Every structure is written in structure tokens, then in C-alpha cells.
Amino acid sequence: MKILVCISHVPDTTSKINFTEDDSKFDTNGVQFVINPNDEFGLTRAMWLKEKQGANVTVVNVGGAETEPTLRKALAIGADAAIRVNTPATDSFSVAKQLANVVKDGEYDLVIAGRESIDYNGGMVPGMIAGLTNANFVNNCIGLEVDGNSATATREIDGGKETLSTSLPLIIGGQKGLVDESELRIPNMRGIMMARKKPLTIVEPIESNQETTSIKFEKPAAKGAVKLVSEDNLDELINLLHNEAKVI
């Protein structure tokens, strides 16, 4: 079984976010980048399938040379090979089109993408890949088993979970729950050394139109001042909640 894991190169959530050019572009200066958390759950599940069923795992990213450390980390975790499509990730459709081309060329049985990336939170790429490749698709996936050419997937729905039976080729949009957080892997020294010898192939992009453009970014409003009320002054607390916060 050939598995392709889509890896987004995203800012660490602890990074301080700023914008340039009149708040129209994200400022990458001083920002630490990591594997998108939803993608990391997917990569870990792919590693489980590799170890249990002998699957071959390739990771792919759409981006410039600055994303290669993130791909190398995925290789150190245990992926067999990496592909970087040499073009900036500008919008969901263009990214999905590049990834769909990789999927078709590699004839992958299973494509694992994160439900969404934590930077733009678009949540569109996995479904678009499925549409462009005419593959089955399960989003919000929190469980996956593969047996031959058949797959059983569990997805999160409002108020519960739904289990589906489908066939390969399959695209999933994975998220937390696909594996337990305790199962996420930290590269060890042996993995890091082996990753240097694994192939990282750079492919040029196919022609694709950019369908959306970011016009302006805006930070959330700063939190207001906090008033502290002594634990023995219940009357004042009730008065503030009723007359100022107006929540009771």
C-alpha cells in the first residue's frame, strides 16, 4: 500500500504574529514553524500502517525551500521519502491542484491530509484533492483501519461519531483522535541521521490559477482590563456581573 501524507508548514502557536505591507502579508520574521498538528496525527497513523502492514509512506508539501526542515522532521519520524512542490502555498485551490497532480503521478492508495491547517483554517484542501482525483473522501476522520482494498473510517459528526465502510483509493481529512496524543512521535537521533539519507524530491508546479487573494489581516481585539474581587465580597461580584458585565 502506498500512502501519501500531506504536510503543512505552519507557525508554532506560541509564535508572536505580525503583518506587513499595511497588514496584507504575514510577517515570517522570528516565527518558528512546525508540522501542522492535524497533519502530525495523520503522519502518526500512516507510521502505524507502515509498521503493521508494510505500507510505504511519502510526505508532500507545497512551498519554498524554507519548508524543507519540516519535511526532514517528517522523514526523521519515519516517512520513507518526501516531495516538495516548488511553489508558494497561495490559496486552497492551487495547493489542492498541485497535490492532486502528485497523487495521480504516484498512484497512491491512501492520501492522509489534515482536516485543516492551523494558520488559515480553510478546511478545503482534502475535499478538493478528492474531487480532482475522483477518490473517496472522509473528512473529520478520527479512526482509520485498512484491510486490503477496503477501509473503515470513523468521523466526528454533530453529537457523536459515524463509522463508514469504503474502498481505496481514499482521501481523508484527519484530526485529533486519529491517534492519541501520547502516540505522537518525537524524532530520535537515529531517525534524524537516517532522514539525511532519505530522498527529498523537488518537483516543479503545474499551471494553476489562484482563485482567492488575502486582502487584509486583522488581529483579535486586545482583552480588556480584569477586575479582581475578593472571595469574601460576594455582593460586589454579583453587582459587577449584573450591572457591568450584564451576564446575569
Q: Which of 107, 129, 14 is nearest to 62 (CA)?
A: 129
Q: How sure is the predictor about 219, in pLDDT bands with cuts at 50, 70 and 90?
A: confident
Cα-Cα-Cα-Cα dihedral sign, residues 199, 202, 203, 207: positive
Cell 489581516, residue located: 217
Asked whether the predicted pLDDT for residue 90 surpasses 90, the reply is: no
Pairing of strands 25-27, 18-20: antiparallel
The residue-averaged pLDDT of 90-105 equals 95
The residue-averaged pLDDT of 121-144 equals 95
Question: Is residue 157 classed exposed, middle or buried when 0-12, 13-18 and 19+ CB atoms within 10 A define those classes?
Answer: exposed
Cell 508558494, residue located: 88
* Per-residue pLDDT, 72: 96
pTM for the structure as a whole: 0.87
* Per-residue pLDDT, 104: 96
CB 56 within 8 A of CB 1: yes
Q: How sure is the predictor about 233, in pLDDT bands with cuts at 50, 70 and 90?
A: confident
* Per-residue pLDDT, 247: 83
The residue-averaged pLDDT of 117-125 equals 90
Q: What is the largest CA-CA distance in the chain?
A: 69
The residue-averaged pLDDT of 27-42 equals 94
* Per-residue pLDDT, 114: 95
What are the cell numbers at 159? 453529537
Angle (deg, nearest 10), helices 37-53 and 68-77:
40
Q: Which of 193, 146, 140 is nearest to 165 (CA)?
A: 146
CB 248 within 8 A of CB 234: no
* Per-residue pLDDT, 24: 87
Average pLDDT, the chain: 93
* Per-residue pLDDT, 230: 83
Distance from C-alpha of 52 to C-alpha of 49, rounded to nearest angstrom = 5
| Segment 167-218, tens digit of pLDDT | 999 999 999 999 999 999 998 999 999 999 999 999 999 998 888 888 899 8
